[in-house]
Structure 1
Amino acid sequence: MSSETIWYKSGARPVSSGNYTTVLEKRAKSGIAWEWMGRVDTSGQIDFTWKFYWDELRSQGVDDITGHITVSSTNNRFTATTINVKITEDNQEITKVVEGGYKSYNVYFEYFLTTHYAPVLEKPSDEEMFAPSEQNDSILVVEGKKLHVNKTFLSYHSEYFRALFSSNFKEGQMDEIPIGDVSYEDFALLLSNFYPIQVFPTDKTVEKLLELARRFLVSSATRSAEYHLLNVSRIKNEKMLWMADQYVMPTLLEKCIRRLDTTDKAKKMKQSEEFEKLSDKTKSIILYRLLDLI
């Protein structure tokens, strides 16, 4: 998906000296929401802060947002100031101190922000992945389609396949082994995570991959999914926490619970549909977290 540049210009807002920061504006446009704040100190210096929220864009594959913000005064009480920005986290703060010398100002800002999407790597075609070769010594059949695979390689990555190819099971003696109760597309997704070369998970595939990894006992696929969720994913914290609990990923679970760092976030988790699906142990951790924040 191509990048998009978003332009916005605010109206003029008054800001004056005082003990508290003033919220000048709360708005949203094209998947980006923000809160703009300002405070004038006793010397006339203005402290500006912008908080940007863009979970919606993150869930659509946006990796980061770059551009600039220019803040100005309608009565030219300070020189228009431009801030270059790179936004990589939701709820990220951008701050700027502007020198002035007055007790009050009328201020406005405009921005040009460009969304950047994470690159999507194309996986090899299924025909290439599962074609006959000298290295492949077994055939799996899924929905009538034949997958030529290497027994040793699959057995190394999966206890399920280790048992399946064992001489103790009748399937281990078969020329073609049927795999039931799974679609060809899903089974190819699982194998492509480690066979013959790794195709990394995406936010669209990670939940299905975890489900398949549990069924077919592929621990490396679970680790790959957890790495994606820890470092790359834009999935909302509520759903991510549920996946961490459901598929036993303790490092991810700890990170998701640390993100519940305000009462609003903790309450949002408790009121989400994912909360009812959690284990009793994880529910208790969240409720204690909420009590600590109150």
Structure 2
Amino acid sequence: MSKDVFEYSSCYYKFHLREFETSTNKGLQCVWKKELIEGKLYFTWRFSWDDLQLQRISGFIGDIIWYWDTDGNPSKVEVNVTDQEQMVKTEINDSYFNHTVRYDYTLIPIISKTDNELYDEMFLPSDKNDAILEVDGMQLHVNRSFLSYHSDFFSALFSSNFKEGQMEVIPVKDVTYEDIGLLLSTIYPKTLFPNDETVPKLLELADRFMIPSAIHHVEYHLLNNTKIDNEKLLCMADRYGMDLLLEKMIKELDTVAKAKKLKALSDYMELSDKTKGKILDKVMMII
């Protein structure tokens, strides 16, 4: 993980150019242009840092300073970028048409927290938490009412009808700290949204701990952002009751070749009779 300051100085360029340069500095790419936006002229800088995400760099803050060759007074614009390709801009005029311009930047990377650091914050003692779960040898401070609202499993666990409901520290077995953190982070205020990598584990955990809202978060991701194969999505939708996703997958089952590919899956025989019936109806419409 790098916390080094990113510093860069460009060469001088003729002002009449539209695109001055694309630079790469320690994995941080910057495209510097002159653009006409809504009738006004701007210098723009767009930053991207795909190669730095493994270092948990999620953005940059700092300054850009640019200089005219004829003017000893530099101009400055503040930088605070947290989205890839986010634009930094500053308005200019065209009175320097025959002159040259350059810029410097000094940027400090924003380091995102690891998932475990976020989980640690989520489970700290506070006046909003009134119960303690013991998971994987660690104590998690949680709110009974909040978890009970989202989960029939936790509602029963906290109930006075169960011995665990009377315990000061309630053990939750056969689950890791990382897994329970991943699951509960989908419903806590500082939400960590699902991605293709976490989807299988999230669905398994949400089903076990009876948290339908976590499944709804996963379904939204799978409906809008996933790259998982349709056949696998259909099996997931059937198994975990994601009706909107199942409807979409059945709708997209529009060729015999796709139907054969689905039939070849090892999970096909695990599909419910209701879903198999829907697939058969769709195939009959195709042939």
TM-score band w.r.t. shorter chain: 0.5 to 0.7
SS of 2:159's equivalent in the other structure is coil
SS of 1:282's equivalent in the other structure is helix
1:279 is matched with: 272
Query: Structure 2 residue aligned with 1:216, among 201, 209, 214?
Result: 209
1:243 aligns with 2:230: no
1:142 aligns with 2:128: no
The residue correspondences of 1:154-169 to structure 2 (distance < 5 A) are 154-169=147-162
Distance 2:210 2:194 in 1: 17
2:263 is matched with: 270
Q: What letter corresponds to residue 172 of structure 1 in structure 2?
A: G
Tell me, yes or no, if the aligned pair for 1:266 and 1:289 is still in contact at 8 Å: no
1:102 is matched with: none
Q: What letter corresponds to residue 265 of structure 1 in structure 2?
A: K
The residue correspondences of 1:170-185 to structure 2 (distance < 5 A) are 170-185=163-178
How far the C-alpha of 1:276 sits from its partner, in A, is 2.2
How far the C-alpha of 1:268 sits from its partner, in A, is 1.4
How far the C-alpha of 1:141 sits from its partner, in A, is 0.4
SS of 2:284's equivalent in the other structure is helix
How far the C-alpha of 1:210 sits from its partner, in A, is 1.3
SS of 1:125's equivalent in the other structure is helix
Query: Structure 1 residue aligned with 2:219, among 226, 231, 254?
Result: 226
1:126 is matched with: 119
1:56 is matched with: none
Give me the TM-score of the superposition, normalised by structure 2: 0.57
Question: Which consecutive unaligned segments of at least 5 residues does structure 2 have?
Answer: 1-111
Distance 1:125 1:134 in 2: 19
1:207 is matched with: 200
Distance 2:256 2:123 in 1: 51
Question: Which consecutive unaligned segments of at least 5 residues does structure 1 have?
Answer: 1-119
Deviations 1:175-222 (A, max 9, x none): 100001212221111111112422111111112111111111111111
Distance 1:122 1:249 in 2: 29
2:184 is matched with: 191
Deviations 1:10-46 (A, max 9, x none): xxxxxxxxxxxxxxxxxxxxxxxxxxxxxxxxxxxxx
Deviations 1:51-75 (A, max 9, x none): xxxxxxxxxxxxxxxxxxxxxxxxx
Distance 2:113 2:120 in 1: 17
Distance 1:274 1:237 in 2: 13
Give me the TM-score of the superposition, normalised by structure 1: 0.56
Tell me, yes or no, if the aligned pair for 1:267 and 1:290 is still in contact at 8 Å: no
How far the C-alpha of 1:287 sits from its partner, in A, is 2.5
1:111 is matched with: none
SS of 1:201's equivalent in the other structure is coil
Cα RMSD for the two superposed structures: 1.9
Q: What letter corresponds to residue 222 of structure 1 in structure 2?
A: I
2:38 is matched with: none
SS of 1:161's equivalent in the other structure is helix
